[in-house]
C-alpha cells in the first residue's frame, strides 16, 4: 500500500512540475528531466530491486507524459526530458537499461495515441532523449536509440497504420548525428 501511495505522489509531483514550467514559460525538457531524475533517485535509493525500479519507472513515465499532455506542452521536449531523467535517475545496468528505454517509449506513445497528440515529434523526442541519456551514463548510444525507436513502433502496432508510419517518420530521420534503422517487420501479402 505504501508503495502505491508513494508512486501516486510522485506522479502528481511530476504533473505539477510540468504545469509550473509551462506557466512560468521555462525549459520543459529540463524540468521533466530533473523532476523524474530526483523522484527515481529517491525511490531507487531505498533499496529497491531492479524489478521495483522498473515498475516505478513505468509509473513515473505515465505520470510525466500525462502531465505533458494535460498542459499541452511540446511533447518532443517532454519525451526527451522523460527519457533523460529516467536514464539518469535509475541505477539500472546492462539489458535493464535498454528494456527500460523500450518500455518507457511504449508507455509514452500509447498515451499520446490515446490523447491524439503529435506522434512524430514525440517519437523524435524519445530517440533524442535516449541518445543524450545514453551519452550521460556511458551506454551504447546506438542501442539506446534503437530501443526507443522499437518501443515507440511496437506501441502503435500494425505497420500499415497511419500511426506506425508517423512514428516511423519520427525515428528514422537523423537525430543529433545518429540514424536509427529499426527492425521492420515482414508484412504478409496474404
Cα dihedral sign, 123-173-97-103: positive
**Gap between the Cα atoms of 77 and 99, Å rounded:** 22
- Mean predicted confidence (pLDDT) in 137-164: 92
30: exposed, middle or buried (Cβ count in 10 Å: 0-12, 13-18, 19+): middle
Three cell numbers at 30? 529540463
The more confident residue out of 30 and 46 is 30
Q: Which of 1-15, 73-87, 108-122 has the lowest mean pLDDT?
A: 1-15
What residues contact residue 55 under an 8 Å CB cut-off, 6+ apart?
A: none
**Gap between the Cα atoms of 80 and 90, Å rounded:** 16
- Mean predicted confidence (pLDDT) in 81-95: 82
Q: Which of 13-22, 92-101, 140-149, 178-187 has the lowest mean pLDDT?
A: 178-187
Identify the helix (H) or strand (E) that includes residue 171: helix 162-172
Position 42 confidence tier, pLDDT thresholds 50, 70, 90: confident
* Buried/exposed code over 95-124 (b: 16+ C-beta within 10 A; e: otherwise): ebbbbbbbbbbbbbbbbbbeeebbbbbbbb
- Domain residues of the chain, as ranges? 2-172
Res. 95: pLDDT tops 90: no
Q: Are the beta carbons of 18 and 28 closer than 8 angstroms?
A: yes
* Residue corresponding to grid cell 537499461: 97
Amino acid at each position: 500500500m505504501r508503495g502505491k501511495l508513494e508512486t501516486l505522489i510522485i506522479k502528481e509531483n511530476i504533473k505539477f512540475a510540468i504545469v509550473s514550467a509551462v506557466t512560468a514559460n521555462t525549459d520543459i525538457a529540463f524540468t521533466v528531466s530533473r523532476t523524474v531524475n530526483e523522484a527515481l533517485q529517491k525511490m531507487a535509493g531505498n533499496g529497491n530491486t531492479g524489478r521495483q525500479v522498473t515498475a516505478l519507472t513505468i509509473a513515473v513515465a505515465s505520470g510525466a507524459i500525462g502531465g505533458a499532455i494535460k498542459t499541452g506542452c511540446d511533447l518532443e521536449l517532454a519525451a526527451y526530458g522523460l527519457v533523460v531523467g529516467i536514464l539518469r535517475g535509475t541505477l539500472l545496468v546492462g539489458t535493464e537499461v535498454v528494456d527500460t528505454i523500450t518500455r518507457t517509449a511504449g508507455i509514452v506513445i500509447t498515451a499520446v495515441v490515446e490523447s491524439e497528440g503529435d506522434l512524430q515529434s514525440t517519437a523524435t523526442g524519445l530517440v533524442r532523449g535516449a541518445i543524450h541519456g545514453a551519452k550521460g551514463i556511458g551506454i551504447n548510444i546506438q542501442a539506446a536509440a534503437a530501443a526507443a525507436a522499437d518501443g515507440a513502433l511496437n506501441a502503435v502496432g500494425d505497420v500499415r497504420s497511419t500511426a506506425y508510419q508517423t512514428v516511423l517518420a519520427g525515428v528514422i530521420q537523423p537525430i543529433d548525428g545518429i540514424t536509427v534503422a529499426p527492425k521492420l517487420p515482414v508484412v504478409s501479402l496474404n
